[in-house]
Amino acid sequence: MDSPQDVLLASEGLRVGVDDVRRSSTLICAPIMAESVDKMVVDMGNAKALGADLVEIRLDHLKSFNCSEHLKILIKESPLPTLITYRPKWEGGQYDGDEKYRLDALRLAMELGADYIDVELQVAHAFIDSIYGKKPEKFKVIVSSHNYQETPSVEALGNLVARIQATGADIVKIATSALDITDVARIFHITVHSQVPTIGLVMGERGLISRILCAKFGGYLTFGTLDSGIVSAPGQPTMKDILHLYNFRQIGTDTKVFGIIGKPVSHSKSPILHNKAFKSVGFNGVYVHLLVDDIANFLRTYSSVDFAGFSITIPHKEAALKCCDEVDPVAKAIGAINCIIRRPTDGKLFGFNTDYVGAISAIEDGLKGSHNNGSSTVSPLAGRLFVVIGAGGAGKALAYGAKQKGARIAIANRTYDRARELADTIGGDALSLADLDNFHPEDGMILANTTSIGMQPKVDETPISKHALGSYSLVFDAVYTPKMTRLLKEAKEAGATVVSGLEMFIGQAYEQFERFSGLPAPKELFRKVMDGSL
């Protein structure tokens, strides 16, 4: 059996030449789950307008269902090809009635002109036998298996595919659950090697990449919802995100994969930024959210050179450094990285830190303000007391960056020992977060929050009380969701200059984009995207 880390190397055979503009033929299906037939008809029209290729009509969601009358309407009125699903409760659906009635409805859907029906593996043999010789030429039977507990081994999945094929299925559908993002590699292995059309999806946030990268790894279709939150299975993205955030139609077997590794990660705006930038410069890449628990395991599993680069965020910035074959000297001194590039020739991993560049530049610009004469070679940070909240990867980066510019450093952290450790390494003072409110050795200090305190959804939190902010001339917050945190609002009210984490985010993203693509960053586009004007 293939080991997980070998799984994606096999996909290399699928790659096509750079001059080949062919892209994935993976279809986008919109689940239609309204409680009335009339609303389903409206939703099918919406699905077409949004760009779906077909609709999945979920009969089990209807509150009232007259089989012959309603099926005729739904199939006739659909502006798109139809997939009819009547999912029973024992397979995760809503239907809890007579089994014969359910299967009769699926047979009737076939007779009335449905393009596909989905039938569960448990009943597929008997069902397919019952329609033998009666199938219309273009009609396809999808035989599905759902595992709401886990994703089995590659060997077990291979056996499952064989069992589904043995029923006479036209299309194999396997949906599993992600306990870890590396589970998805096993599904990619199956879709890449399957001899029949296969839908392979992994449910939950850790399985999100299965729904996007199926376009690269040979999946027959993916599901995109009409509205966020209304999903037919956990972790489904919206049609809008599939098409316009991830540029799904442009993903092909030769598309390079990039992503943001973090935990949590769904709040990150990096995919919006990089995917729009990739598209604007014609770079064949896709950038995805990667909810990662164990970064070493992730990098071992997704070892193909097609997984070409990653941004790293909380809490993996220090652990990621240890996974690299080579680390930029500046990043090594900081002890944390926020960017990994995989060298295409041999797959070796190179680590960088672009955090401190973006943050320090933004803080310097804030200090210069309207007095910026541009000619001074001395940083406005020189000689200033620079207080960093947090002793993690971002804290180290800012402390190191400010020290390089001639600032004096103090580190405040919830755990005093970690603050002391960093302060000793870099040459500075240490204090606990609780002591920060009464820390006032001088006026005109600079404060930089590098923790996630105040980040959505906990927007009411702040690392320091308002009364203590009067001692600072500038306050920077690495959090950028929301753009104006409670810390920044209160600092502004206290008379300090404030610098949003958005400035750091844009600055570090410039350099990452250039390392990912080898092209100049479209800086104006980045700003427009982050301002929400694009």
Q: Same structural domain for residues 231 and 295?
A: no
Q: Domains in the chain: how many in total?
A: 3
Please report whether residue 402 resides in a domain. Answer: yes
DSSP code at position 174? E
CA Rg value for the chain: 27
Please report whether residue 22 resides in a domain. Answer: no
Chain centroid to Cα 210, Å, comes to 11
Domain region containing 425: 357-369+380-499
Closest CA to 220 of 24, 51, 12: 24
Q: Same structural domain for residues 365 and 322?
A: no
Please report whether residue 452 resides in a domain. Answer: yes
| Domain containing residue 303: CATH number | 3.40.50.10860
Q: Give the span between the Cα atoms of 474 and 112, in whole angstroms.
A: 69
Q: Same structural domain for residues 390 and 303?
A: no
Q: Give the span between the Cα atoms of 251 and 232, in whole angstroms.
A: 24
Which two structure tokens, joined as six digits, stand for 367? 């200090």
Is the link from the previous residue into 136 a cis peptide, with omega within 30 of 0?
no
Please report whether residue 10 resides in a domain. Answer: no
Please report whether residue 339 resides in a domain. Answer: yes
Please report whether residue 245 resides in a domain. Answer: yes
Measured in degrees and rounded to the nearest 5, phi and psi for residue 287 equal: -125, 125
In three-state secondary structure terms, 502 is: helix
Report the DSSP beta bridge partners of residue 310. Answer: 259, 340
DSSP code at position 42? H
Closest CA to 438 of 473, 412, 402: 412
Q: Give the span between the Cα atoms of 106 and 242, in whole angstroms.
A: 29
Neighbours of 518 (CB within 10 A): 8
Q: Give the span between the Cα atoms of 517 and 269, in whole angstroms.
A: 18
| Domain containing residue 130: CATH number | 3.20.20.70
Neighbours of 42 (CB within 10 A): 13
Q: Which residues of 104-118 are buried (b: 16+ CB within 10 A; e: fewer)?
A: ebbebbbebebbbbb
Residue-wise pLDDT tens for the chain (534 aa)? 344 434 443 333 333 333 334 477 999 999 999 999 999 999 999 999 999 999 999 999 999 999 999 999 999 999 999 999 999 999 999 999 999 999 999 999 999 999 999 999 999 999 999 999 999 999 999 999 999 999 999 999 999 999 999 999 999 999 999 999 999 999 999 999 998 999 999 999 999 999 999 999 999 999 999 998 888 888 999 999 999 999 999 999 999 999 999 999 998 989 999 999 999 999 999 999 999 999 999 999 999 999 999 999 989 999 999 999 999 988 998 888 999 999 999 999 999 998 888 899 899 999 998 455 455 689 999 999 999 999 988 899 999 999 999 999 999 999 999 999 999 999 999 999 999 999 999 999 999 999 999 999 999 999 999 999 999 999 999 998 899 999 999 999 999 999 999 888 888 888 899 999 999 999 889 989 988 766
Q: Give the span between the Cα atoms of 91 and 383, in whole angstroms.
A: 66
| Domain containing residue 391: CATH number | 3.40.50.720
Q: Same structural domain for residues 341 and 364?
A: no
| Last residue within a domain, chosen from 193, 217, 252 | 252
Q: In Å, what is the CA distance from 56 to each residue of 121, 149, 203, 375?
A: 18, 24, 17, 63
Q: Give the span between the Cα atoms of 38 and 42, in whole angstroms.
A: 7
Which two structure tokens, joined as six digits, stand for 424? 């000793």
The answer to whether 332 touches 324, Cβ cutoff 8 Å, is no
Neighbours of 50 (CB within 10 A): 18
Name the amino acid, one letter, at 15. Answer: R
Cα torsion 245, 251, 255, 256 to 10°: value is 20
| Last residue within a domain, chosen from 252, 283, 304 | 252
In three-state secondary structure terms, 484 is: coil
Q: Give the span between the Cα atoms of 7 and 416, in whole angstroms.
A: 44
Q: Same structural domain for residues 246 and 289?
A: no
Give me the pLDDT at residue 7, please: 43
Q: How many CA atoms lie within 13 A of 232 on its CB side?
A: 27
The answer to whether 175 touches 198, Cβ cutoff 8 Å, is no
Query: Could you tell me the sign of the dihedral formed by the alpha carbons of 7, 13, 18, 20, in that order?
Result: negative
Please report whether residue 3 resides in a domain. Answer: no
Q: Where are the alpha helices (DSSP H) in 457-498?
A: 486-493
Name the amino acid, one letter, at 11. Answer: S
Please report whether residue 530 resides in a domain. Answer: no
Which two structure tokens, joined as six digits, stand for 465? 């009380």
Q: Which helix (H) or strand (E) holds 166?
A: helix 154-166
DSSP string, 407-464: -EEEEEESSHHHHHHHHHHHT-EEEEGGGGGG--SSSSEEEEE-S-TT-TT-TT--SS
The answer to whether 36 touches 189, Cβ cutoff 8 Å, is no
Q: Same structural domain for residues 338 and 363?
A: no
Burial of 168 (0-12, 13-18, 19+ CB in 10 A): middle
Q: Same structural domain for residues 244 and 284?
A: no
Q: Same structural domain for residues 295 and 205?
A: no
Annotated catalytic residues are 146, 173, 317, 355
Q: Same structural domain for residues 391 and 492?
A: yes
Q: Same structural domain for residues 104 and 245?
A: yes
Q: Same structural domain for residues 287 and 402?
A: no
Q: Give the span between the Cα atoms of 190 and 198, in whole angstroms.
A: 8
Closest CA to 211 of 203, 222, 219, 220: 222
Residue with tokens 């309204």: 34
Query: Which residues, other chains included, contact 460 with Cβ-Cβ below 8 Å and sequence gap of 6+?
Result: 486
Neighbours of 16 (CB within 10 A): 12
Q: Which helix (H) or strand (E) holds 84?
A: strand 82-85
Q: Give the span between the Cα atoms of 483 and 502, in whole angstroms.
A: 7
Q: Same structural domain for residues 227 and 347?
A: no
